[in-house]
Amino acid sequence: MSLDPRHWPLGRRIGVALVVAALVPMAVLAYFSLDAGREAVERAQLDSVEGSATEAAVAVREYLAGVSARADALGTRPDVVAFLDAGGSGDAPDLTDAASPDVAAVGVIDASGTTVAAAGGASAGTDVSGAGWFADAVAGRATVAPVSLDEASGTSTVTVAAPARNPGSGVQGVAAIEVRGLDVLAALNQVQLAAGGQAWLVDDAGVVVMARDSRVLGRTLDDLGLGPLQVAIDSAPLGTLTGVDLVDRGPQVAAFNEVQPGLSAVVLQPEAVFLGPVERLGTITWVLFAVVGVVAVGVAVLLARRLSRRVGVLTAAAARIEGDEPPDADALAVVGRSGDDVGRLARVFARMAEQVAVREQRLRDQVRSLTIEIDEERRRKAVSEVTDTDFFRDLQGRAAEMRRRARGEAPAGDAPMGDASGGDDS
Amino acid sequence: MRGGRRRRVLGLVAASVLVAVGVGGCGGDEDGSCPPLAIAFLGALTGADASTGEVVRNSAALAVEDHNTANPDCEVGLLSFDSRGEPARAEVLARQIIDDPQVVGVVGPVFSGEAEAVLPLFETAGLPVLTPSATNPELGEQGWQVFHRLVGTDADQGPAAVAWIVDVVGPERVAVVDDGSLYGGTLADLATDELIRRGVVVAPRQKVEPGVRDYGQAVESIAALDVDAVFFGGLGDAGAQLHGQLREGGVSGPFVAGDGTYTGSFLEVVGQSVDGGAAVAVTCPCVGAAATDAQRAVADRYREVFGAEPLAFAFEGYDAAAMLTAGIDDGAHSRAAMARWLGDATYEGITKTITFDDAGEVVGGPVFVSRIEGGAFVPIAQVVDGRVVPLG
């Protein structure tokens, strides 16, 4: 098959033109529509993941703020302040009320850093003067300590401390509440996650300090293949990132938001899920495109073949006429049934062929009659050319003489030589 | 031309078969590869009734850690999902678990109510479940293929508690109270039926609502009936409150309860006023206190790692996670393969040799009765086939 369209049959040309005219614009349209759709869905999904990270951060922040309020309430309780004012002597305040199910330990600490009253997992007499949260709280600033993760058990705690003092007076000690990481994690996981999504808390060193998955706890983002995420968290309090590759989980979309300085909520969502709607849209579009393409090609091939076949009938008919043979009237009649241009052409062609045949027959008849006349004349002329000769007359005379002799009649001088009637002799 | 086309078609078919076989091989059950897999814990980790869930989760974490230490090149993850004991929340979490393709088995749900809510979801997803602590007998009667239970049910526990009451207390009249939960109500019903069967008069059922701190009305009714013992079907927090208020209300007979009260929170509150004797008895189809070397080893590690006592269902929680990791090691790398493996396996756990019947119920397992002594639950008897056998 020639690749030069100028050498293509008409049917193929029309077929290819149909396919190109149908598919190329559709492909271009599909490509740009998909591109725009992908961009819109990606943006929406990124916004959604970022929203989840923000929601998670806010939930943890609010939970810790609640614990901070409890620590503040404990630190301003008259019996606690009085106890501290008395130098930790007398009846220790009852801290049972502060020990709700989420609390791992409660402590009242004097200004030197010694725990003077405790409940839950805390013990009186413990020295916490070296703790950063104590330094902050005893300086008058309520504070939330960094998450403390016990890697052996995978459990974590968060200590929230508030200065203990009478309102408007100097700090006399610290009230501290240590909450279980499980409760912080519960706050973090209030966020609605898409299929396969995860929510983590990550500290300022990039260590995952809270997560549902035991395999990621205590590991750095770098270890987990999420180095770019660590860089992003270090550079901004809020953001999103695509294409980060989590170990054993594959490409993820990540969003993060700061809970407090040094602690960020991170939400991860598998990219496959994230881009699922776009991929599905793309698949549907290209499948439709393929179906329409196949249909278009099929229709074009059918049309081209039909056109080629009908034109072929006309061509064959013309060739037969050229070869002085009658065209296939039945085939022409079939083509001529159609009301389109080719059908009209076939009908005209058939009539033309009939006319040509009639005229040809007439001419043949005329030629035949002329030929007969010419032949008669030619025969007459040939006969006369023979009979008008002296030799023929001589032969006729001799023949008559011979006949007379045969009948016993007089010799030839008595009868004329020209009596040559008697067809048998001529 | 026809022959060429036929060869191409055959080639495509052969290639498709090879691809299909190849794909099937990737998801095969018995291959030696080590895909990233995980088991999920589902139960209460926060809230008033988190004690049991925390114990199960922690012991499951120990089992997973033991597995990962022994198989550093083929570690299994443990994903912890905190239901707070709320069925509606458990449903949301169950969907998240199902959506995670790495999860091939679930340790939990911890409570019967949440189990009833989520098991239809897990059944649809074909995700095998091993509950070490949900004891409602109806869970095993639903025909769920994914359901497996490592302990006896309330159908064993209620009659066992009554056997102990009848054997030790010899009562004429017993009050039965429940906390309105599926677990508590079922257990109370079973105990009531058994009490009646044994000819004990049962006082009108009283109900208490968890979260409501004043049970004065129920206490007054019980006190007015002069009962010899109180049976409570419900969870630890409400049980502890009821026990305290009954004593304040002058009801002094033994307080007997099911495994829902075999918790740290119950022990912490009730242990302040009870030390030995028959004042409080708690039944449990679980092992409870360590009795074998394997159990003691796990208990010691539990104390070391978590700084707490391994209470009810700790050993069953360990067995549930250890059994799932054993299945993974044995090539059960998909949910379907894990379900088949659990159905066929005979596993030597630290609590017992574990095999499941067709309903997913563990075969065998007595009910233990414990009292509170020295701030701890101490097993004093086990009930086998309705007979109370004192321990020690």
In chain B, the largest separation of any two C-alpha atoms, in whole Å, equals 100
CATH of the domain at A122: 3.30.450.20
**A62 CB-side CA count, 13 A:** 10
Compare all CA atoms of chain A with the CA of B94 and give the residue at the minimum distance: A195
- Least CB–CB distance from B81: residue in A153, A212, A249: A212
Closest CA to B65 of B328, B339, B301: B301
Closest CA to B148 of B315, B385, B354, B331: B354
Higher pLDDT, A307 or B20: A307
Q: Provide, as residue numbers in chain A, all residues whose Cβ is less than 8 Å from the Cβ of B47.
A: 101
Highest mean pLDDT range out of A318-327, B143-152, B358-367?
B143-152
In this structure, the strands spanning B173-178 and B201-202 are parallel
Same domain as A69, residue A54: no
Residue A249 domain-assigned?
Answer: yes
Higher pLDDT, A347 or A423: A347
Q: Provide, as residue numbers in chain A, all residues whose Cβ is less than 8 Å from the Cβ of B101.
A: 196
Residues 6+ apart with CB under 8 A from B31: B25, B331, B333
> In this predicted structure, what is the pLDDT of residue A282?
81
The whole-angstrom distance between A120's CA and the closest CA on chain B is 10
Q: Is the pLDDT of residue B14 over 60?
A: no
> In this predicted structure, what is the pLDDT of residue A243?
82
Would you call B101 and A196 a contact, using CB atoms and an 8 Å cutoff? yes
Compare all CA atoms of chain A with the CA of B42 and give the residue at the minimum distance: A212
Looking at residues B351-361, what average pLDDT do you find? Answer: 93
Q: Measured between CB atoms, does A155 come within 8 Å of chain B?
A: yes
Looking at residues B357-371, what average pLDDT do you find? Answer: 89
Would you call A186 and B306 a contact, using CB atoms and an 8 Å cutoff? no
A112-131 residues touching B, CB cutoff 8 A: 121
> In this predicted structure, what is the pLDDT of residue B232?
97
Q: Is the pLDDT of residue B270 over 70?
A: yes
Final residue in a domain of this structure, among A168, A186, A204: A186
- Least CB–CB distance from B46: residue in A102, A154, A248: A102
Final residue in a domain of this structure, among A159, A186, A213: A186
Q: Provide the residue count of chain A.
A: 426
Domain that includes residue A246, residue range: 38-58+192-272
Least trusted range by pLDDT, from A105-109, A380-384, B224-228, B351-355: A380-384
ipTM score for this prediction = 0.76
Residue A235 domain-assigned?
Answer: yes
Kind and range of the H or E run holding A255: strand A250-260
Would you call A196 and B99 a contact, using CB atoms and an 8 Å cutoff? yes
The whole-angstrom distance between B78's CA and the closest CA on chain A is 5
Measured in degrees and rounded to the nearest 5, phi and psi for residue A404 equal -65, -45
Contact A139, A171 (CB under 8 A): yes
Percent of chain A whose predicted confidence (pLDDT) is above 90: 38
> In this predicted structure, what is the pLDDT of residue B376?
86
For residues A220-238, one letter each, b for 16 or more C-beta atoms within 10 angstroms of the residue's C-beta and e for the rest, the string is bbeebbbebbbebbeeeee
Q: How confident is the model at residue A223 (pLDDT cuts 50, 70, 90)?
A: very high
> In this predicted structure, what is the pLDDT of residue B5?
43
Residue A213 domain-assigned?
Answer: yes
What whole-number distance in Å separates Cα of residue B194 and Cα of residue B179?
Answer: 19
| Beta-ladder partners of B144 | none
Q: Is the pLDDT of residue A36 over 60?
A: yes
Least trusted range by pLDDT, from A404-408, B79-83, B111-115: A404-408
Look-up: residue for tokens 């498709």? B16
**B298 CB-side CA count, 13 A:** 32
**Exposed/middle/buried for residue B37 (C-beta within 10 Å: 0-12, 13-18, 19+):** buried
> In this predicted structure, what is the pLDDT of residue B177?
97
Same domain as A239, residue A152: no
Residues 6+ apart with CB under 8 A from B78: A213, A214, B38, B39, B40, B41, B60, B61, B64, B321
Residue A331 domain-assigned?
Answer: no
Least trusted range by pLDDT, from A252-261, B124-133, B194-203, B363-372: B363-372
Higher pLDDT, B130 or B29: B130
Q: Measured between CB atoms, does A189 come within 8 Å of chain B?
A: yes
Whether domain B37-152+291-361 has CATH 3.20.20.70: no
CA B85 to chain centre: 12
Same domain as A143, residue A111: yes
Q: Measured between CB atoms, does A225 come within 8 Å of chain B?
A: no
If one counts every other C-beta atom within 10 angstroms of the C-beta of residue A138, the result is 22
Q: Measured between CB atoms, does A97 come within 8 Å of chain B?
A: no
Residue A329 domain-assigned?
Answer: no
Best residue in A191, A212, A267 to probe B by mutation, most B CBs within 10 Å? A212
CATH code given to domain B155-284+368-390: 3.40.50.2300
What whole-number distance in Å separates Cα of residue B313 and Cα of residue A24?
Answer: 67
The whole-angstrom distance between A247's CA and the closest CA on chain B is 9
Same domain as A249, residue A200: yes
Does the reported pTM lie above 0.90? no
> In this predicted structure, what is the pLDDT of residue A263?
95
Would you call A214 and B61 a contact, using CB atoms and an 8 Å cutoff? yes
The whole-angstrom distance between A214's CA and the closest CA on chain B is 5
Residue A304 domain-assigned?
Answer: no
In this structure, the strands spanning B376-384 and B387-390 are antiparallel
Q: Is the pLDDT of residue B289 over 50?
A: yes
> In this predicted structure, what is the pLDDT of residue B27?
36
Closest CA to A60 of A226, A185, A209: A185
Coil, strand, or helix at residue A60? Answer: helix
Same domain as A51, residue A196: yes
CA A317 to chain centre: 50
Higher pLDDT, B215 or A353: B215
Same domain as A205, residue A131: no
> In this predicted structure, what is the pLDDT of residue A410?
66
Q: Is the pLDDT of residue B24 over 90?
A: no
Compare all CA atoms of chain A with the CA of B306 and give the residue at the minimum distance: A153
- C-alpha to C-alpha distances, B149 to A58, A131, A392, B132, B320, nearest whole angstrom: 39, 46, 142, 6, 9
Compare all CA atoms of chain B with the CA of A96 and give the residue at the minimum distance: B269
The whole-angstrom distance between A15's CA and the closest CA on chain B is 24
Q: Is the pLDDT of residue B22 over 70?
A: no
Q: How confident is the model at residue A413 (pLDDT cuts 50, 70, 90)?
A: low
Higher pLDDT, A129 or A87: A129
Same domain as A68, residue A48: no
Residues 6+ apart with CB under 8 A from A276: none
Query: How many domains, in total, are found in chain A?
Result: 3
> In this predicted structure, what is the pLDDT of residue B23?
36
Same domain as A172, residue A199: no
Q: Provide, as residue numbers in chain B, all residues whose Cβ is less than 8 Å from the Cβ of A102.
A: 46
Would you call A213 and B38 a contact, using CB atoms and an 8 Å cutoff? yes
- The mean of the pLDDT values for chain B is 88
Would you call A213 and B305 a contact, using CB atoms and an 8 Å cutoff? no
| Beta-ladder partners of A198 | A268
> In this predicted structure, what is the pLDDT of residue A31?
83
Q: For the packed helices B335-344 and B314-329, what is the interaxial angle rounded to 10 degrees? A: 110
Q: Provide, as residue numbers in chain B, all residues whose Cβ is less than 8 Å from the Cβ of A248.
A: 36, 102
Highest mean pLDDT range out of A36-40, A182-186, A299-303?
A182-186
Closest CA to A11 of A372, A342, A265: A342
> In this predicted structure, what is the pLDDT of residue B32?
57
Q: How confident is the model at residue B197 (pLDDT cuts 50, 70, 90)?
A: very high
Residue A110 domain-assigned?
Answer: yes
Q: Provide the residue count of chain B.
A: 392
Q: Is the pLDDT of residue B222 over 50?
A: yes
Domain B37-152+291-361 identical in fold to domain B155-284+368-390: yes
Q: Is the pLDDT of residue A97 over 80?
A: no
Residue A76 domain-assigned?
Answer: yes
Q: Measured between CB atoms, does A343 come within 8 Å of chain B?
A: no
Task: Give residue limits of the domains in chain B.
Answer: 37-152+291-361, 155-284+368-390
pLDDT tens-digit map of B29-49: 445 578 999 999 999 999 877
Would you call A214 and B84 a contact, using CB atoms and an 8 Å cutoff? no
Would you call B46 and A180 a contact, using CB atoms and an 8 Å cutoff? yes
> In this predicted structure, what is the pLDDT of residue B188?
96
What whole-number distance in Å separates Cα of residue A256 and Cα of residue A51?
Answer: 9
Best residue in A102, A185, A215 to probe B by mutation, most B CBs within 10 Å? A215
Compare all CA atoms of chain A with the CA of B53 and give the residue at the minimum distance: A182
Q: How confident is the model at residue A1 (pLDDT cuts 50, 70, 90)?
A: low
- C-alpha to C-alpha distances, B195 to B173, B252, B257, nearest whole angstrom: 9, 19, 14
